[in-house]
Amino acid sequence: MKYKQKVLSHGLSLLTVTAALIGAAEDGAAADRPDLVGLRDRALIGLMAYSFARVGAVLQMKVGDYFVQGRRRWVRLHEKGGKEHDVPCHHNLDHFLDEYIAAVGIAGDADGYLFRTTVRRSGVLTEKPMHQQDAYRMIQRRAKAAGIETKIGNHTFRATGITAYLKNSGKLEVAQHIANHESPRTTKLYDRRQDEISLDEIERIAI
């Protein structure tokens, strides 16, 4: 299964990898002239991590699928079989999406795709949606720029979010609901806490 790509070597945790990739995308986003691609990539990686979302559900999102309900922002994910799944936004994700949408100027384009392709390497975004292979290439490019040798893919960030949540005393059944999994067994497959424990234990071997 594809999510097994996320097994990490070189002593890097999922959280470290995700933070490094978001940081790499932020480098361009912090420039005087907004780096639209950097802002897009940070928002995309953040959305997968903070909402435990499948890349396919994220890439089908329209601008209007980021909305206010009550006193907070939500995202509406488009799952398999035409099902929709609403998830409240973490405050970091709010920040990532707000900056991206404002810089690109798409706030009024509710029916337009949220994550858009670029015109080759111009840094100009089109109206066409990114596909999974586009997201995968972006992640590989960001990983290389951040000096990460670990094999990662589109599913890495779903595992990151679930692992971080469970490490902070989150409940498995709540993680299951956020990830929209039918079974808690599926959610547990994304829990990488044991990997980090194993690495810590191996370092106890003092020779």
Q: How confident is the model over 119-133, as pLDDT tens digits?
A: 887 788 999 999 999
pTM: 0.79
Could you read off the pLDDT of 42-101 as tens digits, one per residue? 999 999 989 999 999 999 999 999 999 988 999 999 988 888 999 999 999 999 999 999
Is CATH 1.10.443.10 correct for 2-202?
yes
Distance in Å from the first CA to the final CA of the chain: 37
Averaged over 174-194, what is the pLDDT?
A: 79
Q: CB-based contacts of 7: which residues, under 8 Å, 6+ apart?
A: 151, 195
From residue 57, give the alpha-carbon distance in Å to each of 53, 86, 171, 179: 7, 11, 23, 11
Query: What is the model's pLDDT at position 26?
Result: 65
pLDDT at 155 over 50: yes
pLDDT at 169 over 70: yes
Averaged over 98-108, what is the pLDDT?
A: 95
Q: How confident is the model at residue 152 (pLDDT cuts 50, 70, 90)?
A: confident
Q: Which residues on neighbouring strands pair with residue 37, listed in sequence order? A: none
